[in-house]
Structure 1
Amino acid sequence: MEAPGPLSAKYEGSFAYYTVKDRMPQILTKVIDTVHRNKHKFLEAHGEEGIEAEKKALSFFSKLRNEMQTNKPILPLSDQLPDTQIWNQYLDYQRTLLSDGDEPSWFRSPWLYVECYLYRRIQEGLFLSPPISDFDVFREVKNESFFQSQQAMFALCTHLQELKGRMNSLSKDKVRDEIYKLVQVSLWGNKCDLSISGGQNNSQKTSVLASLEDFKAFILVDDMTSVWNILSKNRDGNMESRTRVDFVLDNAGFELVTDLVLADAMLSLNLATEVHFHGKVMPWYVSDTTKHDFDWTLKQCLAVNHKWMSKCGETWKENLKKGRWVYHEHLFWTLPHEYCTMAEVAPDLYTELQKSDLVLFKGDLNYRKLAGDRRWDFTVPFSQALRSFHPAPLCSIRTLKADIQVGLPEGVGERLTASETDWLTTGKYGVIQFSPVV
């Protein structure tokens, strides 16, 4: 994989400064606190070597926080992980965006880049502190969020099992209504984002199902008809044909369970024959799903004392075993690159996505990388904002938590800005936004 050449559109630097000042130091402070609180575990597991590793990691993170808060230059990575060279090449690329010869710094670099860079530097600090290099500084808050959301999960799993119990009697229109309902649950499950809340509790404590009708007014773009047209082909056509759906995952916890329920329903209702999941290779944006999170979630569902949730766990484990579900990891998802560079930077991943009939991109970070985190006009078509990224028909399922949104009808963005200055960042609004292969 290689860093891309210069891109034509320009970033706004002021937004990066505002957000760095507010959210990122808070996250890094929580990382420091988490490492310190686990000192006894490091001692038990590794003896004095574990204590020395904890001190080394704390020193690294304290220095990193100072670099961030005082607008120091962005430094090359030094850990020699598989993606280190790619990151350092990307830093060279960032230098080409500055016309005054200065070094890229925390306040003078694109927000998407510095935010990704923060999470990658956190991994660097741990990797350079053996034997605690594999410690996930976000696992505690991810697990806590999962357990605090269990009542909502119970309700959702119960709904799924009841749906599967009567699926043979459902008309085509009813199947469409049911899958649309679960897509909406997956959409609003995206509110549970620990990177936005700074690692504070952001669990889903009540069932989303009962509120869907009320929430419909807050879906700014609803392209469910286009999604349904793809999914229904398998149900209407030759049952020997294969329909593949890919989920590019976002948050672990409640949102991941909503995605698994949706994927299960797609298979059960003959809307898909195989589902592929794409997760992160390292802890990322506090609550993003890793392979460990994915496997841990299935184990928790299996072990829970709830009839229908444990039934879901059994089914999902069997789906993986029989290849109806496939889990993928790829370094590209934790690089700073926009997705329009994927064919060049990670051609193997782009080729893999081209095998899909429908790719569902979950969440805010995926949306920012799809559209490049640029200040597009609100009415710019979604397919245009994707630029060269068209591996397969795709749909973004996202609640708005960053200052970017495209594909809105004329005047909608301006009207919302006039009435709610923070409408782009609160998670109150959502989109189910589709783009065909262009």
Structure 2
Amino acid sequence: MNFKRRAVAAAAVLAVAGAGLATVQATAEATQPASHPARGRPEACPDLTVSKGWYGENKARLQRMIDTYGHCGPQRHKGGARPVATFDWDNTVIKNDIGDATMFWLLRNGKIRTPERGDWHTTSRYLTDPAAKALAKACPATGTTLPTHRNTACADEILSVYSEATTTAGKHAFDGFDRRRMEPQYAWLAQLTRGWTTRQVKRFAAAARRENLAAPVGAEQRVGTERVTGWVRYYDQQRDLIRTLKKAGFDVHIVSASPEPVAEVWADAVGIDARHTLGIRNITAHGRQTAHLKGCGTVRDGDDSMITYIDGKRCWINKEILGVHGAAAQKVQPADRRQVFAAGDSDTDVSFLRDATGLRLVLNRNKNELMCRAYENGDGRWLVNPMFIEPKGKKADPYPCATTGYTRGDGTPAPVRRTDGSVIPDQRDTVYGESAPSSAP
């Protein structure tokens, strides 16, 4: 199988950016106040300390942003509000994926509950009939939990539906959802925690975390009959950036498309507490997770049609971090009511990255829409950096911005457009890396 977000080890050796991007970035620098001790910058202002892995002027530009909007800067705490910074989690703050790590652990340890009435449709409103039938056949309901640690056929079927969105026979597993606010594979992990308490889910996530941090870089593990990624690492550069932002007075949040209890377990190690961690939220009943999800904006609790994914991330950030409620949470807010900084790595992050008013950090994973917007860099506020561990090499073909780089809600491709409706031309990949030995856990 080609598992989503799969990785092997390496660290970034950075490449040379194209002249066009460098020119736009240099122009943008003129709009931000300089930051230098000789020009009166207080020595107490927090500094980024990790230099390795940052491309070009990215570290310097991040430092200038921190000096501008943090407690030392001329734009600090306007109206008493702290500047907000929002980070995606998987492959943005860490290498690899905590949702994957948790799902693999659940399957290896037999911790997925048998569906209600043995009907797999109860686990996701978007599950297709062929998928429900394949799961029922591979995973007969013989007890409270499914013996996926012994029944490899059952483990393989669940793994295929989760990782590939297909059955092991190649049938589509999910259908009928809005691709701009829902990814049913991600949601399915949260829904498969049905029956466990939040504390138990956190315990499972903590066990998976210990295993993945202890495993050697590049390690694999067996789930069912398949070999899957078995390691995770925190990025030293992002730990340092989060620490510095917090010291400068920023209100720093994690916004993940993994289950919220899982994200909370991992985020704690970079100093982000549960109140500052957003993820997929289950509705609970009698203290236990259900297979239904909390809603946002016009989406009601239990409708299960919007998670922290693309436009859904915007909605949840507006609602839970910026205090915007109701239908307005789904809309772009005025500049003074948005996050100053955002960081992400995938098309799943594109909406909340676009909302950031100061800088937007993108780790290059060759995702079409995100890289189209980042490389076009119309307002000069996009920073592109290779991944800090196992950076992608140069993409041979230009990103198809002018034709198919955007995915509509119904799944059909379209051109990537600017806010004014004009089409972004195809963009070449200019910020990339080559494999090198990775950092320690």
Same-fold status (TM-score > 0.5): no
Length-normalised TM-score, structure 2: 0.30
Length-normalised TM-score, structure 1: 0.30
Q: Say which structure is richer in helix.
A: 1
Q: Say which structure is richer in strand.
A: 2
- Point out which structure has higher relative CO (alpha carbons under 8 A, 6+ apart): 2
